[in-house]
Structure 1
């Protein structure tokens, strides 16, 4: 791989809560340029093709434009989503702890672009170091001249607060974030209406992930062409890949959007533990389609993985080697989803529980053939039955594992025949 210089994880960005150090390394220039021409912010993000890094990969400019188009003279909200609670995902906590100022600057630019006077930084309460760093950084911004200049451009004071999330997995879904900010339990809500029209207290609301906002100051400072050139092929920008599992060098890697899975695992990750063969990877966390050795040369970007009927998601890559039971790993992750279901939608709560129960029976040798048939049937019945994507994610990983590694499931039944 050609030499790549990190942006979000560059040494100049890893300054903790020291605002002066951030500004000395060209931080603040993005906000200054945004203040000089606020109307140019959203078109620039459109040209750069910045996508949402929280999982969906939705074009960032479209979200921003939808909020900006709402009538002024009312409260508008920007919510920075740092709930991050999915297995294998650890990028946002690193940014918040080591480089909170690029996240805050991106959020301030977002507030300016959409005309928001309410800004909330929503963070998982289990990430104590991230919260401490972020709170200290916020205090420094409030005392800087750029803060006063921004409030002047908005025409009214900006209210910025750090808010601890519920710490629940479901609390990261964007409508659940809104419910939490309003002071309630993080129950997801049906859409439409979308947050851009009716979010916090019925006001227009923009919800973006930590990594998404961290990219914004750099794009404003360096331009759309610079950002596009960071990626590979048709993909733009860089991406934070949370690499874990059966690799020699797990960790957080900032690399070009569009590098291959092979480069990530065998180049950056140093290859497989104990030189075992590569078996599979859970992409974007454990709620997406599994990729196998046949997919090692796929480009890791939103569009390429969608073409493979998979998803980049958050950029988490959980690598599994030969000799590791796919049934057991899937059972562990579905246990997580079953525990994380909020209970608002009965098909989700009972469906994820039944998926978990069946997987555990098969994994422990208590399963019978009809359990496998029931598992397949639930994968047909459950999709779309919840207000959020939790049950869909659980079904996706189960269905994918059945398609790719169905022999492992059947072998479990053959090894421990109990009829059925």
Structure 2
């Protein structure tokens, strides 16, 4: 009887210990999974300030992007979708009500060019808003890009390397947000200065005029709209630049990793090369999705920004009335600085990807193929064909590949135009 009781007690203790062990192991597994989730979502977290600012300005939905496909039918998502559509319609109405201002133009001059510049900027903000709407609503774009980043992290990245890239992106995001708000506030301040202290930009409040008894209130309401337009213009550029730099950092990290093959023995290289080839393919898949996401915006931004920069240069260099008025001159210089910054940020950040994506070619070419097997030669040839094949990078609406040559051509056009203006003026 005593032995039977002792046996039951021992069994109960063993069962309780087993349950405690299972609970502890389950808790440990849950902690590990939570840690992995936090690592995978680290990119979304560092981009949170940008996403929130874009959501506030009516071009984004931070919570939908963060939750992926899960939150597409929530009440908040529906409300934010209505908000984005409302802002886009407001931008279109704002551009349409500006057309009657051309009726007062009697000749070609700075007045016409200034109105064209303002209208082009309105058009660019509409196109940016539409591009952002497509990014958020199409699940095959930004949401898929973030999911591919998570898959890439799970398959290839270790903790140190992942947080190295995310840390760089976080620092760039912080700096970009400071500069972005500087340009946004500066844009509104200059617009307000020109509205309240001069008659040059009275057409901003068209069809109303300064004779309206409520003109001051109308100007204040317009400046609110102007702030939203500026946020759409600046923050879309920042988002494109940051995602482009993220892909660039991932490729540079991959290049540093594959360069270690030079010091590896032949047998080790044989086992690692196929893994590196698949890793490069995963990065290329991310670039394809990023191109689908941002190519529309890149095309809009390059085209309209180039036109704005050329018109601003023409106004500043050609018309003495612009240079003699400090307010107009400062506003034109500020606009030119903002446009060139926007243009340079998009062209440089997107063009850097193409160079880094093909950079492993040099390492593969310098590998020793003495005494290798036929299977290894096939792996090398397949990798080389991908690196020597179609261009890898972002494009402008699938028409122009963004690389360093594109940036040089843009700079050459602007420099040549500026020199020609100076020559004709003399």
Which TM-score tier does this pair reach, normalised by the shorter chain? Answer: under 0.3
Instruction: Name the TM-score, length of structure 2 as normaliser.
Output: 0.24
Q: Which has the larger radius of gyration?
A: 2
- Greater per-residue helix proportion: 2
Instruction: Name the TM-score, length of structure 1 as normaliser.
Output: 0.24
Which structure ranks higher in relative contact order (CA pairs < 8 Å, sequence separation ≥ 6)?
2
- Greater per-residue strand proportion: 1
